[in-house]
């Protein structure tokens, strides 16, 4: 009855109209209650447009609970009045429409606009943060634009919204709260561990998180300021804010310690002509997929305060700003099948096979489905039309089935009854199902991972060799590699004297790798390269890691309550393997790391989590980024080895330059990172200069 087109749902009759009104009201209510509606923005808008079209044709059939004309679809929106309405933005979709818009704005104010601020349109929720005498006072959602909901309870978990400003001023900062891609993936991991439903997309995640009051776990979001205005007690600041160009208001806010988009790849820039604006719009559009957070367009604002004042605002949107929309990152496609894949640790994960669909420049054919309970909860069926979300480096995901597009032909999704990899039983006692054989189920994958370049780095041990070893019964876990005998290897197909000797030598070298790599080789869930380095540097020996309880583990930077508990549980499971590694003479210490004091000793509370446990190292407290080709003493180091070096020397390695970066090591052919560091005033060092700084740590972690 209801067919979708790109622009509006087509409602054929009164029954379809009534069903659509009900669905839209339910979605609006759910969104404003929990931030988790089954409809994404675009689908909601399409439905709302369909409803409006039907009502235009049938004015006497309009239902009382129709969302048409009601802000926030008529859902409850909160009761804290905004001092100045929080408006929306009008949209343009092309260079031509943008040109028309600027011309009409310039006609209205009677002169050309001399500067345009071109900014990312952050894909989150608008909020107002009030500060009094430099102290955080209140966080309010946009609500219906006139009044919003008080969500101050959530402010402490919002990155970029300080409790204290750097000056004792009274003002309201407005901006967007969103989940960065990393916060989204992390938030979903925590939620699913707690048996909750994963967030459909980062925006829903941010909305739900802001409103949630009694969660047993903490999920972070990020604030980006895009404006500021005075409050009744602002005093002289009111005049200043009224006269400053928009771009300077943003710098002022950033100077107070509030997070803005400055320092990101899509930082606001000023453009003087329509052509310059368009060039920046194109640049932002092409950077979109690589950004660590979601944007749904570009906002262009007349920068001079006088232009804004004279242009004024309509009831819905200001006349001095416009949103240049980018294509949606959500599309509807069909769910064709569900595959069940067994991961390295024996986890059995469902994956959706989709009718390929183009989303923001890439073709999406698969999407994650998290776990079986999630499939049941969403009542997904094979053949369903599903809303798929794909943005940045987020793994494509199914947000929800589009229920009103069901034809009745859809069929239930069958769950596996035994491990799809080895046929063993399934342990379904937790949300994530697991083969009862755990890691042994995917022995080839776990051994290959352990032997990989960033772990034990055993040259000559590719997957084919590992398969031979496993199939020949020579290896039942990666500790067995260390007790392989020459005759056993020689007996394998295509293993001559030379390759055997080379492999044995490589295994010998692997035995002396630093603890961080040995620990990483264990493949404990949630501990990749950099987390393994942090753990190894903090505890210095495997004994101490294994003996640590969840509370102690949380002293390592980046390990929260959930991860700590999961790591402790997994290490208990891995104890026999670790014992075998020790017995085989594998190194279990981290060079250069000092163990933390025993619990209960005097200095314990002051211990740092950088593995130095207090002693100052050349990079202590510094965040270091490496770019370009290394030279001199650093020439042969891979990026991973450079990061290891940075961390041995007490620093934190990062891959992107921001205002929090302390140092950029820039070799030859350093590109945009160098320019960005220079723009931000970040210190830049040549590889040779850096090698001098950390010389003492060069080679410390590498055995030979």
Does residue 703 have a known ligand-binding role?
Answer: no
Pairwise CA distance, residues 619 & 646, whole Å = 7
Which region, judged by CB under 6 A, interacts with ligand IVH, from 81-89, 196-204, 384-392, 511-519? Answer: 81-89
| 87 lies in the binding site for ligand IVH (CB under 6 A) | yes
Q: Is 254 left (phi over 0), alpha (psi -120 to 50) or beta?
A: alpha
Does residue 441 have a known ligand-binding role?
Answer: yes
| 17 lies in the binding site for ligand IVH (CB under 6 A) | no
For the bound state, the minimum distance from the C-beta of residue 270 to ligand IVH, rounded and expressed in Å, comes to 14
Nearer to ligand IVH, 119 or 410 (CB): 119
Placement of tokens 């997957």 in the chain? 463
DSSP class of 344: T
Nearer to ligand IVH, 191 or 280 (CB): 280
For the bound state, the minimum distance from the C-beta of residue 307 to ligand IVH, rounded and expressed in Å, comes to 14
Q: In what order do the strands lie in the sheet with 171-178?
A: 135-141, 125-132, 171-178, 221-230, 158-159
DSSP class of 504: H
Q: What is the token pair recorded at 636?
A: 């042969």
What is the full DSSP assignment across 602-651? TTGGG--SSSSTT---TTTT-EEEEESB--GGGTT--HHHHHHHHHHTT-
For the bound state, the minimum distance from the C-beta of residue 670 to ligand IVH, rounded and expressed in Å, comes to 30
Cβ-based neighbour number of residue 254 at 10 Å = 16
For the bound state, the minimum distance from the C-beta of residue 688 to ligand IVH, rounded and expressed in Å, comes to 41
Pairwise CA distance, residues 309 & 287, whole Å = 32
DSSP class of 594: P
| 307 lies in the binding site for ligand IVH (CB under 6 A) | no
Placement of tokens 């000023």 in the chain? 270
Given a contact cutoff of 8 angstroms between Cβ atoms, the answer to whether 261 and 294 are in contact is: no
Q: What is the token pair recorded at 354?
A: 């989709």
Q: What is the token pair recorded at 278?
A: 């368009």
Alpha carbon distances (Å) from 114 to 101, 249, 282, 581: 15, 17, 21, 69
Nearer to ligand IVH, 117 or 643 (CB): 117
Q: Which of 21, 72, 92, 126 binds ligand IVH (CB under 6 A)?
A: 126
Nearer to ligand IVH, 261 or 691 (CB): 261
**Catalytic, out of 70, 121, 390, 659:** 121
Contacts with ligand IVH in 393-412 (CB under 6 A)? Answer: none
DSSP class of 257: T
Given a contact cutoff of 8 angstroms between Cβ atoms, the answer to whether 348 and 340 are in contact is: yes
| 40 lies in the binding site for ligand IVH (CB under 6 A) | no
Which region, judged by CB under 6 A, interacts with ligand IVH, from 245-253, 318-326, 468-476, 556-564? Answer: 318-326
Q: How do beta strands 269-271 and 116-122 pair? A: antiparallel
Q: What is the token pair recorded at 347?
A: 């986890």
Q: Identify whether 121 is a catalytic site residue.
A: yes
| 89 lies in the binding site for ligand IVH (CB under 6 A) | yes
Does residue 510 have a known ligand-binding role?
Answer: no
Does residue 23 have a known ligand-binding role?
Answer: no
| Residues in binding contact with ligand IVH, number by CB under 6 A | 14
Pairwise CA distance, residues 57 & 104, whole Å = 32
User: Per-residue x/- marks for ligand IVH, 164-183, CB under 6 A?
Assistant: ------------x-------
Pairwise CA distance, residues 505 & 131, whole Å = 64
| 119 lies in the binding site for ligand IVH (CB under 6 A) | yes
For the bound state, the minimum distance from the C-beta of residue 313 to ligand IVH, rounded and expressed in Å, comes to 7
For the bound state, the minimum distance from the C-beta of residue 120 to ligand IVH, rounded and expressed in Å, comes to 6
Which region, judged by CB under 6 A, interacts with ligand IVH, from 121-129, 214-222, 466-474, 525-533? Answer: 121-129
Does residue 123 have a known ligand-binding role?
Answer: no
Q: Name the phi and psi angles at 554, rounded to 5.
A: -70, -10
Q: Which of 88, 152, 589, 658 binds ligand IVH (CB under 6 A)?
A: 88
Q: Which of 121, 397, 437, 674 binds ligand IVH (CB under 6 A)?
A: 121
Q: Which of 318, 327, 420, 460 binds ligand IVH (CB under 6 A)?
A: 318
Residues in contact with ligand IVH by CB under 6 A are 87-89, 119, 121-122, 126, 176, 226-227, 299, 318, 321, 323
Binding residues: 41-45, 88-89, 119, 142, 176, 301, 325, 419, 422, 441
User: Annotated binding site for Zn(2+): which residue ranges?
Assistant: 419, 422, 441
Catalytic residue positions, numbered: 121
């Amino acid at each position: 009855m209801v067919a979708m087109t790109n622009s509006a749902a087509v409602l054929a009759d009164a029954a379809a109209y009534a069903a659509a009104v009900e669905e839209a009201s339910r979605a609006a209510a759910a969104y404003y209650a929990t931030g988790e509606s089954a409809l994404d923005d675009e689908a909601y808008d399409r439905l709302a447009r369909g409803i409006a079209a039907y009502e235009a044709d049938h004015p006497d059939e309009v239902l009382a609970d129709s969302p048409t004309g009601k802000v926030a679809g008529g859902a409850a929106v909160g009761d804290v009045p905004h001092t100045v309405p929080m408006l929306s933005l009008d949209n343009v979709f092309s260079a031509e429409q943008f040109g028309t818009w600027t011309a009409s704005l310039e006609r209205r104010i009677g002169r050309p606009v001399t500067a345009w601020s071109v900014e990312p349109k952050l894909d989150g929720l608008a909020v107002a943060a009030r500060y009094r005498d430099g102290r955080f006072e209140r966080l309010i959602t946009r609500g219906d634009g006139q009044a919003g909901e008080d969500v101050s309870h959530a402010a402490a978990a919002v990155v970029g919204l300080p409790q204290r400003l750097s000056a004792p001023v009274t003002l309201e900062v407005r901006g967007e709260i969103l989940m960065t891609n990393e916060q989204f993936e992390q938030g979903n991991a925590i939620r699913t561990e707690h048996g909750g439903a994963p967030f459909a997309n980062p925006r829903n995640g941010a909305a739900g998180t802001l409103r949630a009051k009694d969660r047993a776990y903490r999920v972070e979001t990020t604030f980006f300021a895009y404006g500021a205005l005075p409050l009744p007690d602002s005093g002289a600041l009111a005049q200043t804010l009224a006269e400053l160009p928009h771009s300077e208001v943003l710098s002022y806010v950033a100077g107070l310690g509030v997070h803005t988009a400055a320092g990101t790849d899509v930082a606001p820039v000023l453009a003087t002509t329509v052509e310059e604006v368009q060039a920046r719009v194109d640049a932002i559009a092409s950077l979109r997929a690589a950004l660590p957070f979601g944007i749904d367009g570009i906002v262009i604002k007349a920068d001079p305060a006088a232009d804004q004042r004279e242009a004024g605002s309509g009831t819905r949107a200001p006349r001095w700003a416009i949103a240049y929309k980018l294509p949606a990152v959500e599309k509807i496609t069909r769910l064709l099948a569900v595959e069940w894949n067994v991961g390295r640790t024996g986890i059995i994960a469902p994956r959706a096979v989709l009718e390929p669909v183009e989303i923001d420049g890439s073709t999406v054919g698969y999407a994650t489905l998290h776990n079986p309970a999630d499939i049941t909860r969403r009542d997904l069926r094979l053949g369903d039309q599903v809303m798929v979300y794909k943005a940045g480096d987020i793994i494509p995901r199914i947000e929800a089935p589009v229920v009103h597009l069901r034809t009745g032909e859809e069929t239930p999704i069958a769950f596996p009854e035994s491990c799809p990899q080895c046929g063993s039983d399934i342990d379904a006692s937790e949300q994530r199902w697991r083969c009862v054989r755990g890691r042994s189920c995917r022995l080839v994958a776990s051994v290959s991972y352990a032997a990989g370049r960033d772990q034990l780095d055993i040259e000559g041990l590719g997957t084919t060799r590992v398969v031979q070893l496993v199939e020949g019964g020579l290896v039942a876990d990666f500790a067995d590699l260390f007790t392989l005998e020459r005759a056993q290897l020689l007996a394998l197909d295509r293993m001559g004297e030379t390759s055997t000797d080379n492999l044995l030598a490589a295994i010998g070298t692997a035995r002396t790798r630093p603890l961080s790599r040995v620990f990483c080789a264990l493949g404990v869930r949630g501990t990749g390269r950099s987390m393994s380095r942090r753990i190894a540097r903090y505890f210095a020996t495997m004994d101490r890691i294994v003996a640590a309880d969840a509370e102690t583990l949380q002293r390592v930077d980046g390990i929260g309550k959930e991860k700590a508990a999961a790591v402790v549980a997994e290490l208990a499971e891995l104890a026999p393997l670790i014992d075998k590694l020790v017995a085989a003479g594998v190194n279990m210490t981290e060079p250069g790391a000092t163990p933390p004091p025993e619990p209960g000793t005097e200095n314990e509370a002051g211990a740092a989590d950088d593995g130095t446990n207090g002693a100052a190292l050349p990079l202590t407290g510094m965040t270091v980024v490496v770019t370009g080709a290394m030279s001199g003493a650093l020439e042969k180091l891979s990026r991973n080895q450079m990061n290891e070096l940075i961390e041995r020397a007490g620093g934190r390695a990062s891959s992107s330059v921001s205002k929090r970066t302390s140092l950029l090591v820039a070799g030859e052919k350093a590109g945009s990172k160098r320019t960005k560091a220079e723009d931000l005033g970040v210190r830049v060092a040549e590889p040779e200069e850096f090698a001098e700084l950390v010389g003492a740590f060069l080679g410390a972690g590498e055995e030979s």
